[in-house]
Amino acid sequence: MSVRIAVDTGGTFTDVVVTDESGEVWAAKASTTPDDVFDGVGAAIERAAAQAGLGLDELLARCGVLSYATTHATNAILLRRTARTAFVTTWGHPDVLVLKEGGKFGPFDFSRDHPEPYVPRALTFEVRERIGAGGEVVEPLDERDAVRVIGELERAGVEAVGVCFLWAHVHPAHERRFAELLAERLPDVAVSVSHAVVPTIREYRRASATCIDASLKPLMTRHFESVERRLLERGFGGDFLVVTSTGGVVPAAEVIRRPLLVVSSGPSIAPVGAEAAAREAGVDDADLVVGDMGGTTFDISLVRDGEAQFARETWLGDQFTGDITGLASVAVESIGYGGGSIAWIDDGGMLRVGPASAGAAPGPACYGRGGSDPTFTDAAVVCGLLDPDAFLGGQMRLDAGAAHAAVARGVAEPLGLTAEEAAAAIVEVAVDGMAERIRELTARDGLDLADAVFVAGGGASALCAGAIGQRLGCRSVLVPRLAPVLSAAGGLCSDVLMEFAASHPTATDAFDFDGVTGVLDGLDGEMERFLRRLGADDERGSRQFIAEARYRHQVWELELALAGGGPRAAEDLPELEESFHRVHERAFGVRDPGQVVEVLYWRGRARAALDRPAPSPLAARETAAGTPSSAWFADAGLVETTRFDGERLAADAVIDGAAVVDLPHTTLVVPPGLRARRTALGHFVLTSMQQEEAR
């Protein structure tokens, strides 16, 4: 029997989901092991294998496809643990990375220093050459000067080089030749050239993306080769696919050539898992707000019309002062609310939660690993929401006394509250913070929350998903069967997906049909070659064109999918214009039908469908009675609560709040006023009892 395995290795836990041809699913977690990542991956796969009645080697031998998501690249960038990288650019333009895009929030806040460039100014080198905006050679590449720079690179001891010449995306000959010279003289140094990484007009974005890509090559090559080698040693003989920032997967060899693709690898796949769960639960007729709450962050993403929303604005760190990837990726907003987020009192006596986190080591006080700060998880224990004996399916016992002491010392005593009141307040502050950020994001995207479904993901999200849905006024809340491992679950239903891009500005009042046709044909050829390498036939492979357009004189572009082969003749323009007006109206609430539409970028999205076994329904069983208990809620105080063993809940079971459901890797809280229904496939859908009665 063939199986498919999905792995998501993050900062605290490594999640694994396994499914077989019958649709049976097994999920497991293990602690992430940064020193040797395969130890954690192997442990999680072995636990899932045990549930299937197999050993690790036997399961891997039966695996046809293994999808692998990792935050390794993102963590390396944020912690500056990448290769020693140099930036090579056109003579006279060494400050591209220093100046970034010239802006910051709080322009009169002089307490913050100017951000450091991704590559230090001391490792920036200039080469005499110049390409014009039209692709003409203004100054030929001075090869003697190029050789001189390569000598300086060698003396500087760099491990990677990012090459970004002016207008190289229009005419890349100079970048190609410099890369050839570098390979001849320094063959062990990794190199990335901007026209191959991100062929876009904006200079900073192209340079930043290229340097990030180069800096990751040595690290990620070692990482993926090591994981794949260890898998092969244990009997794996299937396809090793890596999750990218597009929410799809690609062969590991593609990522080794272009590691920028895996920045935001883990969070990008959660919306895919959410969309699949919504379809199975019968709530896929609404837009989805996905909240993935792990140990450190709460990741927010949107699914509209069945598709995860993409963004070009992917910043690592703060917007404008961080570093930008320049790639289209699934739009994910991360804020500092997680299970390990620390509660604290500010100078004004106000209770705050996060963004500082206790992390995995030492972790929350209740973990018993030396942590003493009160965290969200500690508060959930003190409130009675988490059962210390049932955490992670009983694999880990929590120290309720340590949690109580941490909350009392850090929050309750300074505020003059009982420990239980303080704990309920901690949960309330976190819920309000997450809900408020979702309101901001959805308002910006023009999404009506009253008709949206909030989807919970991550190990901690089910604790507060119902409360978040209530705050937002959502139509319903969905807690998927695999909510604690939502990103890994997304890996089970993802397809192979690769994007190709090109710049060719034109406008609807003087549309360059010949130029656009040439660009689209070039993208089509790249997509066809990619699908051919995968062996995807016409039935499994598909190609889609995308344009990034704006009204004339606007600063930023919006993405719109193009019908068929894109605009290639005058009769295609009305459809292009109407598509953009529609997208603009949805984003901003207005359209301007008489305005000229400018298209700056063209993208091709190649997709190869992978087999997706239909999930198997829950085994037939009768719902066991719940156990009387009690829990603290900020707006109601101590409330009588019924506690259920989730493994003993039948399909179509109905639970009225206040209730708590203990599941193998998470805990579902049904607040007062909400009703939870379990679907045939094991998902939980929460709705308002008041709204149901009103209908």
Q: What is the pLDDT of residue 162?
A: 97
Whole-number pLDDT of residue 652: 87
Maximum mean pLDDT: which of 177-181, 529-533, 592-596: 177-181
Does the structure show a pLDDT above 80 at 79?
no
- Give the predicted TM-score (pTM) of the model: 0.87
For residue 639, what is the enclosing H or E element?
strand 637-645
User: Given pLDDT bands bounded at 50, 70 and 90, which one contains residue 537?
Assistant: confident
Looking at residue 390, what is its pLDDT? Answer: 79
336 or 674: which carries more pLDDT confidence?
Answer: 674
Confidence of residue 514 (pLDDT cuts 50, 70, 90): very high
Contacts of 241 (CB under 8 A, 6+ apart): 65, 66, 67, 68, 249, 250, 251, 252, 496
Beta strands in 427-555 (DSSP E): 453-457, 476-479, 496-507, 541-551
> Which tokens in the block code for residue 593?
């039908």
* Of the ranges 259-268, 299-308, 509-518, the best mean pLDDT one: 509-518
Which pLDDT value is given to residue 694?
A: 63
* Mean pLDDT of all residues in 451-457: 94
The one-letter amino acid at 90? T
* Percent of the residues in the chain that have a pLDDT greater than 90, as a whole number: 61
Bridge partners, 606 (sequence order): 498, 543
Q: Which of 29-38, 197-206, 210-219 has the lowest mean pLDDT?
A: 29-38
Q: Please tell me whether the peptide bond between 658 and the residue prior to it is cis, using omega within 30 degrees of 0.
A: yes
Q: Which of 311-315, 396-400, 448-452 has the lowest mean pLDDT?
A: 311-315
pLDDT over 90 at 89, yes or no? yes
CB 643 within 8 A of CB 627: yes
CA–CA separation, 210 and 163 (whole Å):
7
User: What is the pLDDT, as a whole number, of residue 120?
Assistant: 93
Q: Please check the confidence at residue 318 and state whether its pLDDT lies above 80.
A: no
User: Partners of 551 in the beta sheet?
Assistant: 597
Q: How far apart are CA 690 and CA 674, in angstroms?
A: 8
Helix/strand/coil percent split, the chain, to 5: 35, 25, 35
Q: What does the pLDDT read at residue 1?
A: 61
Torsions phi, psi for 149 (to 5 deg): -65, -40
Amino acid making up residue 459: G
Q: What are 223-266's pLDDT values in tens digits?
A: 999 999 999 999 999 999 999 988 899 999 999 999 999 988 87
Q: What is the mean pLDDT of residues 444-472?
A: 91
Mean pLDDT of the 415-434 span: 95
Chain center to CA of 62:
29
CA-to-CA distance for 665 and 459, rounded, in angstroms? 7
402-416, 468-482, 502-516, 526-540: which has the minimum mean pLDDT? 526-540
What CA–CA distance (Å, rounded) separates 300 from 311? Answer: 13
* Percentage of the chain exceeding pLDDT 70: 98
**What is the rounded CA–CA span in Å between residue 171 and residue 91?**
17
- pLDDT of 315 reads 72
Burial 534-572 (b: 16+ CB within 10 A, else e): bebeeebbebbbbbbbbbeeeeebbbbebeeebbeeeeb
Q: pLDDT tens-digit profile of 658-693?
A: 999 999 888 999 999 999 999 999 999 999 987 766
11 has pLDDT over 70: no
Sign of CA dihedral 288, 293, 259, 322: positive
Closest alpha carbon to 262 in 443, 415, 76, 401: 76
Whether the per-residue pLDDT at 372 is higher than 80: the answer is yes
Q: How far from the centroid of its chain's Cα atoms is residue 289's Cα?
A: 14
CB atoms within 10 A of CB 508: 18
| pLDDT score for 695 | 62
Lowest mean pLDDT among 14-18, 63-67, 584-588: 584-588
CA atoms within 13 A on the CB side of 353: 29
pLDDT at 526 over 70: yes
Q: Give burial (CB, 10 Å; 0-12/13-18/19+) of 427.
A: buried
**Candidate from 273-287, 363-377, 532-546, 594-608 with smallest mean pLDDT:** 532-546
CB atoms within 10 A of CB 114: 10
- Give 514-525 as a 3 state SS string: HHHHHHHHHHHH
Average pLDDT, the chain: 90
Mean pLDDT score, 506-530: 94
Q: Tens of pLDDT along 607-648?
A: 998 887 788 888 777 777 889 999 999 888 899 999 999 888
pLDDT of res. 101: 81
